[in-house]
Structure 1
Amino acid sequence: MVNNQQDSSLAQWPEAAQTLMALMHAQGEVARLSEREQLLSTLLVSVNAVLWAFNWETRQVLYVSPAYERIFGRSADLLLADYNQWRDSIYPDDLEYAERSLADVLVKGAVEDREYRIITADGQLRWLSDKCFINRQAEPGQPVIIVGIAEDITDKKQLESELQRLATTDALTSSSNRRHFFEGAEHEFEQARQQGTPLSFLMLDIDDFKAINDTYGHQEGDNVLQRIADCGRAALRRGDLFGRIGGEEFAAVFPGCTPDMALQVAERVQREIQGLTFNHEGQTFGITVSQGLTSLTAEDESVESLFARADAAMYEAKRQGKNRIITA
């Protein structure tokens, strides 16, 4: 009898062992899943980009990573409750583009070149690079889910802007440099030719600038150049181009400006500059400029011909006694 009971118990051992092994395996899986969840949570917290998932049909944000609160300065819980929290944070000028480019993902499957600005909760303006993708493997009838990653690229944009400024701006006077000025002048010339609108070109040179440097020093000469640039920008109209194209030479282009109007602008520049006074170690002095002005004709084939005529007229103003405007 005893032997039979022992045999019965031994017969149950494999099944019990299997159950125990299954329980141990399950516990191991739970532990591994917990470790994975902790790892994933740690990674999501450390990533400085916003991972998000969006239900296109219900307009509901399904998930947003912790970086949202760091970058936007807004509550993730409020966003999950109302998608407009994200929409309303977009800079107004960029809202139409941001919404249109998001809709493009339905056609393209992915949109990776979205860049727009947001206003954070504390009023900062920040740039985002917001890539988004659609799940094309979803079963028919399943909701359309868009996922994306939004990265703060404000520092990159500021660097790009600074590099652009350095590449296009004269460091001393903050005016357009020669290359940038003539690029703009060429564009305005082509526009005027295509549209049949007037265009004028002005050259300006400081009279006796070498004597200013020799008498008062190069630092005072730099001050003169800066004040001239300030006068030029203040006297010109919105949309006019202005730049320093040589040592003491400046140039301007007046789009849509008839010869008579252009002359009035040049005269205004002349008066502003004549009114400048400078003081160096108790000595007060003023400056004058010579200007050459010309306007677009049917014979002009490039902006260089306008430049050449204005330049020649400016040197004619020098020959005639300086401090005057000659038109050509």
Structure 2
Amino acid sequence: MVDKNPQDSSPPQWPEAAQTLMALMQARGEVARLSEREQLLSSLLVSVNAVLWAFNWETREVLYVSPAYERIFGRPTDPLLADYNQWRDSVYPDDLEEAERSLASVLDKGSVEDREYRIVTADGQVRWLSDKCFINRQGEPGQPLIIVGIAEDITEKKHLETELQRLATTDELTESSNRRHFFECANHEFERARTQGTPLSFLMLDIDDFKTVNDTYGHQEGDNVLQRIAECGRAALRRGDVFGRIGGEEFAAVFPGCEPGVAMQVAERLQREIQQLSFSHDSRTFTITISQGLTSLLPEDDSVDSLFSRADAAMYEAKRQGKNRIIPG
């Protein structure tokens, strides 16, 4: 009987086994670290309150969209990844052409950082987005043309800007244009009339005996009168006319493209509507009247100030002639 070679039944050499074990442990450790990094990246993407996205320009495919898409758009991601038109359908209709144009401009510019447009969420809310994007390659041949970007919800910022703009341009009491904004608009219409050779009319309006209203019925009732006058002004004027409160009980209007005869008709309509207003205070009823001065653009006028001065002088002439009338100037 021949003895077996002892080496034939010996276990693997421990140094080799240890190396294999160490390699397996290192591999598992690397897998664990990769998993941890993936979990960390996933957590970061979930926490970012902006939509990260990647888009294949040539195939019109959305390659990636971050979790914030569902929060901001109120829509699931899978339909978007399957069909790019899901994004187009969510853009506010009036903004779609500009949104697509600005996206295409990244091909020439390499990046676009001033894209702003509105979307309509699944539940009908209108939200503003600021969407920055850029090309992720520098034109290497044979590589797909991928556009990546980040879309941030700026709805609250837009609402704040709108409110600040309203406060800066609107008379708080009457919600008409304030003096500064009125004359900015009037100057714009003056320059346009001069450039295009079109007519322009300017109206000044003052409430008759307004001090008596305040003294007799109180300032709160006086404020009510101012508000009702402003409402009449907005209702009587034409679309495109400029109307504002320029001080105290004085209002003014600019009629772009309006011949003197038509401007007089608008002023008369405003006069009638205000005459029909009725106010009551402590069981007492009263009415009000206004005096108006109306003028139109002349060849020698070099600024809005000329129109304003003539209309103002005509308005005070209406006061001197007995009030409650319109005097052309």
Q: Distance in 2 between matches of 1:181 and 1:211?
A: 27
Q: CA RMSD in A?
A: 1.8
Q: How does 1:147-226 map to 2 (within 5 A)?
A: 147-226=148-227
Task: Specify the code of the residue in structure 2 equivalent to 1:218.
Answer: H
Q: Is the 8 A contact 1:55 1:144 kept in 2?
A: yes
**2:111 matched to which residue of 1?**
110
Q: TM-score scaled to structure 2, two decimals?
A: 0.96
The offset of 1:137, in angstroms, is: 4.5
Distance of 1:137 and 1:228 partners within structure 2: 62
Please give the alpha-carbon distance, in whole angstroms, between the structure 1 residues aligned to 2:115 and 2:133: 8
Gaps of 5+ in 1: none
The aligned counterpart of 2:267 is 266
* Over 4 Å off, 4+ runs: none
SS in 2 for 1:300: coil
SS of the aligned residue for 1:175 comes to coil
Equivalent pair of 1:209/1:248 in contact (CA under 8 Å): yes
Is 1:76 equivalent to 2:77 in the alignment? yes
| Match of residue 282 from structure 1 | 283
- Answering whether residue 122 of structure 2 is matched by residue 121 of structure 1, we say yes
Question: Counterpart of 1:66 in structure 2: which amino acid?
Answer: P
Aligned length: 326
Q: Deviations over 1:50-74 (max 9, x none)?
A: 1111010010001111111111111
Separation in 1, partners of 2:114, 2:140: 28
Name the SS for the 2:118 alignment partner.
strand
Measure how far apart 1:78 and its partner are: 0.5
Q: Which amino acid aligns with 2:112?
A: V
TM-score (norm 1): 0.96
Contact 1:109–1:136 (CA<8 Å) still a contact in 2? no
* Displacement of 1:23: 1.6
Query: Partner residue of 2:40?
Result: 39
Conservation of the 8 A alpha-carbon contact between 2:294 and 2:327: yes
Q: Is residue 2:52 matched to residue 1:51?
A: yes
Q: Deviations over 1:172-207 (max 9, x none)?
A: 000000000000000000000000000000000000
Q: In the TM superposition, what whole-angstrom CA distance separates every residue of 1:290-325 from its partner, at most 9, and x where no partner exists?
A: 000000011011111100110011011111111011
Unaligned 5+ runs, structure 2: none
Partner of residue 296, structure 2: 295
- For 1:135 and 1:228, the matched residues in 2 are separated by 59
Q: What is the CA–CA distance in structure 2 between the aligned matches of 1:182 and 1:19, rounded to whole Å?
A: 85
Cα separation, 2, equivalents of 1:84 and 1:296: 52
Distance in 2, matches of 1:176 and 1:27, equals 71
Letter in 1 for 2:107: L
Counterpart contact for 1:72–1:119, Cα < 8 Å = yes
Q: Does 2:65 correspond to 1:64?
A: yes
Name the CA distance, whole Å, in 2 between partners of 1:246 and 1:226: 13
- Report Cα offsets for 1:43-99 as digits up to 9, x if no partner: 111111111110100100011111111111112100011000011110111000000
Q: What CA distance in whole angstroms lies between the structure 2 residues aligned with 1:135 and 1:121?
A: 30
Match of 1:307 in 2: 308
Aligned residues: percent identity? 84
Provide the rounded CA distance (Å) in 2 between the counterparts of 1:245 and 1:238.
20
Cα shift at 1:142: 1.4
Q: Give the whole-Å Cα distance in 1 for the aligned partners of 2:40 and 2:139.
A: 27
Q: What is the Cα deviation at residue 257 of structure 1?
A: 0.1
Separation in 1, partners of 2:105, 2:169 = 34
CA distance in 2, matches of 1:23, 1:273: 92
Specify the SS of the correspondent of 1:161: helix
**Amino acid in structure 1 at the alignment position of 2:61:** Q
Three-state SS of the structure 2 residue aligned to 1:52 is strand
